[in-house]
Structure 1
């Protein structure tokens, strides 16, 4: 299974009475996602399935990818990508998807869940992975043999040329 992790783009700071779940993307975050979508288009990167955390900033990130990337599938909102989700629960959900024949998923979520998931899948220490906002990280995983999991690439948005 190909798994592509996309951390949500830059959002409003966590401050004041606003609930964390309601934080929205700022202009920089929206611009980041246009750049990510253009990068994906140029490199023929297209999700087969696109899953997002239910938090506003993650949903906006996923929706902007879908809007600006031709033929991108509809966003599916799943609780198992919520802020603070357990990477082991996400792995269990991914196993179910793989068993159902799904072989390419994109996950839009949060830190530290994204880095924890990646670290567990590639057998690295949890603190050895840092996922930047609006970055893409792709792995290939066979849940029948987790030792075969491979980190294929990780690209922060800042390195995705907008030209």
Structure 2
């Protein structure tokens, strides 16, 4: 299975006036994310499912991916919230679904959560070495059987500037 960890686009700054979960993509964030999505489509990517954090900026990013026809399936996933834990995601969300080996999943979320997830999938622990830019993507291939933790193979790490 291939997991594509995608960080949300550029969002409004955190202020006391706006709750973090309500921060929206800026106009620039929408435009850049749309360009990245179109480039991913031109590269031939197609996701079986896009799972997204419930926070507004991540859902907007996932909606842009859907609009670019990168998938027809979208689902909100609480585990992709900024404080989500990969261990809970694997046990509560991934394992019960028994996806086919050739499944391609897009996971839209936040930093530093997503880069830490990628490190745990590849190295089995957080090393604080990977950084995922806004609207950037990390691809990790995970094994068909057994726990994916520490057994993944990273095949993609792209900041958005290379996709614009």
The alignment status of 1:110 with 2:131, answered yes or no, reads: no
Report the Cα distance in structure 1 between the residues aligned to 2:147 and 2:76, rounded to whole angstroms: 28
Q: Which moved more, 1:140-149 or 1:2-11?
A: 140-149
Aligned residue in 2 for 1:38: 38
Gaps of 5+ in 1: none
CA RMSD of aligned residues (A): 1.7
**CA deviation vs aligned residue, 1:29-78 (integer Å, no higher than 9, x gap):** 101211111111111001111100000000000001111x2362132111
Count of matched residue positions in the alignment of Structure 1 and Structure 2? 159
**Paired residue secondary structure (1:128):** coil
Q: Distance in 2 between matches of 1:153 and 1:100?
A: 21
With structure 2 as the length reference, what TM-score do the two structures score? 0.89
Q: Deviations over 1:92-147 (max 9, x none)?
A: 222333x2437221100011110111010001533111111101111100152645
Matching residue of 2:27: 27
Assess if the C-alpha contact under 8 Å between 1:51 and 1:108 holds in 2.
yes
Equivalent residues in 2 for 1:43-122, closer than 5 Å: 43-67=43-67, 69-70=68-69, 72-92=71-91, 93-97=93-97, 99-101=98-100, 103-122=103-122
How high is the TM-score relative to the length of structure 1?
A: 0.89
Residue in 1 that maps onto 2:158? 155
